[in-house]
Structure 1
């Protein structure tokens, strides 16, 4: 169960937790980029970024990843015409301007060498000012492309986020009004002018590109129309698919709930509420592990040691020492526990808390200790498994799992087509089915009976009177106390301690332990538990990295970039 909970948390974290956690709380409220194309093929760029900070900050960042055969040069930063310090780490520029909870406006300027690609008919500026590696959302972005001279002949094209956002002014200036640009997206812009406007630029290739641009433009238009048709179709069928999946989940939940209640009623009819200890259908360690939803803990091993003493396989020698009396136990996990504690941690059939302390202080023993503990727990689980307390329900679980996995392509398609509401609902229902397929294992009649009887003991134990408790056999008193320790039931432990103090004289002579011994065992069990907890707290090395230098861009020609703050 513990592993299942970890898995559930992991799966939900994939969808619910942000992928990046920023130390600085900020937003980029407005961005304006002006690219001035030069006759020699270089591009002079100015950028103006408005930041709203809601925390302390040291500055902003700008990532500029040049395309192949181009370079970024002469990068500068200003605020109100005042130069700011800039630190470059390959493609990352850090602009230092500290402050706290305020709005600032930073101007950047740089030159893209050979940014214009000249062909025999046209010269194009085909550039990604950001790419999918960008971690910040631009709330409003405007990009202006200025030709070297006034012209009326212009071809424009925008990709991804830039598609359909361009307009051409009478003087040939192209405006890409992109609005909000979300993080992790591409948005290449492409503008082509007559090649004669760039007389001193180097010829990139001795061929024409007009037809290529026009064909590309027509293809994008067709793809956009097809995209719109698919989106319309998906928006019409999604309610039926999601509703059908929702109905399936509801039917599944109702069927599981009704079956559970039916078994509970059957167990209630065949069982009587009682203050007495339930009949043991399994060993105490197996019962405790089962009642702990198969999650082992330090209390469980302490209780298992006490149970060996109760059954007479082990006796206590002094205040903190235990000695084997009979190694021939009833269950395999008891033999494993004796071998582990009395021969591996202890020596020659003797185990003491000092042995445990010395053993766990040596870090070289931690791995072996955890391995031995896991081996013992697995043996206890085997006893639980042999009693068939859970149903496998393979057909129901496999069906739910397959339906969940079949929803993944549909969820991806919804996301690609920006149908985020239906995508979110589909993810929730798909995850619900997947988790159901992983964790659903209903209890058998026997499993329900054992669970109900021990739960009733736990809830009724606080109401047990001194006379009723005194009527119990000493072994029953011990079993109840060991169960309370192994399951971590503090109220039962306190009740037992209270009754044992008031009724110490009622302990029978044939009891394996006297009340004073039990009090001592409480202290010993606590010490063993604490020592076991220490072995679990191993030091794990963690590595973290910050301010990493971006790699290649995902925009056209390997270019790209983004913005941030620090």
Structure 2
């Protein structure tokens, strides 16, 4: 009984495996279809499909959906003139030819009974060899329609993917050179010959189609002529459009670069080159977030907690425990952080690393944790916005964005009219202008000064010796350490570790501030790791599935190809 249950569970699990997981990896490299029109109105069809398989396979499939009042008969398959087994399941034919990592060519033949529509004046073959239900891409497809005997006065029209692909040879053979046909596309073909070529076919008396076909051919030629006229006009217009917008974009970039250089020059003129801690314009968390281009992470969170300790709002009770000691804070985001970590994650104003671990491990808390983190980050950003560190340039950015959008119609027109080079340049310029409008927010002098001073401080920090560092106030030492934690600056962290591990002049042991720095460094690493772990857990991917569509085409016919 136990073995039976195991077997049933195994079979049930196989049924749950998605179809995509069992799909065969293949490419249909070449497809040639020859339709030989018969005097009795039937059509003998020979197809040749070349497949390239990657991995194991059992064979190929061909869906043949007949039109109304027609029938598909005598379907056979061959490889090198050797017959292959064919199974029919409704309109689906499975041709068995197994293998692995091979390139194979399969020949298929069948008869379309009553495939011709013969009228008093013309007999037409109007057929969809594939339709929108096809799930495979044909890399290169050619369709040939052969009359019962050489003739002239032939009409040919292609629809959808086959439009404009037709050519007629001197003996009346119509060639539809479709090239690549993507999956999900349709493309009916239509070839018409004098009705006298089909003496054995049932004729639809009293009806003619020559005028209808001539009108369609004339309409297509008129559309083609209009298309070529538009293409010629656009090809002449394109260089002017591209040059104008390219000059405009270049002028914007040069202007932005010159403004940046002028602002930086002013900052350098006012600032001295030193490695001392810069004068604070904002809180440390806000400074760090601004320097990180608004990219918040676990390092920023650790730095913010340490900054609460530095300010005395939070006391470190022991190696694992922090306690709120002051509820009056300097900034709203500090209050948000205390409420979150000490009353949401922790309890009654006490926060421990163990409590953080327990809170994050509970799946019901993970979304709340992420939301609170986002709320805190937004509060920090609010402080940054109050200092006007960047110039929004709203008017200029809207103007640039509109000018970028003006290029979209040109991009579409160039693409539709096969002007691919101009389409590429137009799309590139449109994207560049829209990106400029999206991200261009130049720093003000205050913003540039803040960035310059802190970059200068971090780059020169390695040159500070222990004697000079010991002359700093413990608060400056702590700020330098917190900045390094928040920025995840490896060089500054290594230097801090060396400086904190040295004895201060005139002392026989580590200073209290030094030991605190080392201990808080360890704890901050734990907090950072736990937050990153929680963020990864909350982020969950979603999947979907699709159901293949049914056949569609002229008169309800169609088909497609595949493999199994």
TM-score (norm: length of structure 1): 0.86
The match for 1:6 is none
CA positional deviation for 1:179: 6.7
Contact 2:136 2:560 in 1 (8 A): yes
The match for 1:457 is 457
Distance 2:521 2:120 in 1: 92
Distance 2:468 2:114 in 1: 95
Query: Which deviates further from its counterpart, 234-243 or 320-329?
Result: 234-243
SS at match of 1:282: coil
Distance 1:526 1:23 in 2: 47
Distance 1:505 1:206 in 2: 115
Specify every segment of 5 or more residues in structure 1 that has no aligned partner in the other structure, as ranges: 1-21
| Superposed CA offset, 1:80-99 (max 9, x none) | 13344557787665645444
Distance 2:407 2:64 in 1: 38
CA positional deviation for 1:79: 1.1
| Superposed CA offset, 1:471-522 (max 9, x none) | 211100100110111111111111100111013567999x9x6321221111
| Superposed CA offset, 1:510-538 (max 9, x none) | x9x63212211111111111111111112
The match for 1:251 is 251
CA positional deviation for 1:307: 0.5
Distance 2:35 2:113 in 1: 12
| Superposed CA offset, 1:451-476 (max 9, x none) | 11111111111121122211211100
- Distance change in 2, residues 1:74/1:414 (3 Å): farther
Query: What does residue range 476-555 of structure 1 map to in structure 2 within 5 Å?
Result: 476-503=476-503, 514-538=513-537, 540-543=540-543, 549-553=548-552
The match for 1:433 is 433
Distance 1:120 1:470 in 2: 107
SS at match of 1:315: strand
SS at match of 1:330: coil
The match for 2:447 is 447
The match for 1:298 is 298
Across the aligned residues of Structure 1 and Structure 2, the Cα RMSD in angstroms comes to 3.1
Contact 2:162 2:178 in 1 (8 A): no
Contact 2:154 2:168 in 1 (8 A): no
Distance 1:422 1:473 in 2: 63
The match for 2:394 is 394
Contact 1:136 1:562 in 2 (8 A): no
The match for 2:192 is 192
The match for 2:182 is 183
The match for 1:376 is 376
The match for 1:165 is 166
Query: What does residue range 355-366 of structure 1 map to in structure 2 within 5 Å?
Result: 355-366=355-366
Contact 2:162 2:189 in 1 (8 A): no
Distance 1:377 1:508 in 2: 42
- Distance change in 2, residues 1:520/1:84 (3 Å): farther
SS at match of 1:323: strand
SS at match of 2:351: strand
- Distance change in 2, residues 1:41/1:428 (3 Å): same
SS at match of 2:144: strand
The match for 2:6 is none
Query: Which deviates further from its counterpart, 336-345 or 231-240?
Result: 231-240
| Superposed CA offset, 1:516-565 (max 9, x none) | 1221111111111111111111262443659x634444x54565555566
Contact 2:131 2:551 in 1 (8 A): no
Aligned length: 536
- Distance change in 2, residues 1:207/1:503 (3 Å): farther
CA positional deviation for 1:145: 1.8
The match for 1:105 is 105
| Superposed CA offset, 1:302-350 (max 9, x none) | 1100100000000111211110000110110000000001111111111
| Superposed CA offset, 1:32-81 (max 9, x none) | 2111334564433210123456x445254545565566565554432113
| Superposed CA offset, 1:145-166 (max 9, x none) | 2345666554323345452632
Distance 2:340 2:232 in 1: 66
SS at match of 2:543: coil
Query: Which deviates further from its counterpart, 114-123 or 407-416?
Result: 114-123
Distance 2:503 2:541 in 1: 52
The match for 1:232 is 232
The match for 2:9 is none
- Distance change in 2, residues 1:405/1:561 (3 Å): farther
Contact 1:470 1:503 in 2 (8 A): no
TM-score (norm: length of structure 2): 0.86
SS at match of 1:274: coil
| Superposed CA offset, 1:423-477 (max 9, x none) | 1111111111111111111111111111111111111111211222112111001
The match for 2:411 is 411
The match for 2:48 is 48
Contact 1:57 1:565 in 2 (8 A): no
Distance 2:222 2:38 in 1: 34
Contact 2:31 2:138 in 1 (8 A): no
- Distance change in 2, residues 1:421/1:151 (3 Å): closer
The match for 1:348 is 348
Query: Which deviates further from its counterpart, 69-78 or 367-376?
Result: 69-78
Query: Which deviates further from its counterpart, 97-106 or 221-230?
Result: 97-106
Distance 1:176 1:182 in 2: 16
| Superposed CA offset, 1:218-262 (max 9, x none) | 111111111111111111111111111111111111111110111
Query: Which deviates further from its counterpart, 150-159 or 224-233?
Result: 150-159
- Distance change in 2, residues 1:495/1:31 (3 Å): same
| Superposed CA offset, 1:357-396 (max 9, x none) | 1111111111111111110000000001111111111122
Contact 1:63 1:550 in 2 (8 A): no
Query: What does residue range 32-111 of structure 1 map to in structure 2 within 5 Å?
Result: 32-38=32-38, 41-51=41-51, 55-56=54-55, 58=57, 59-62=59-62, 64=64, 72=72, 75-84=75-84, 95-99=95-99, 102-111=102-111
SS at match of 1:387: coil
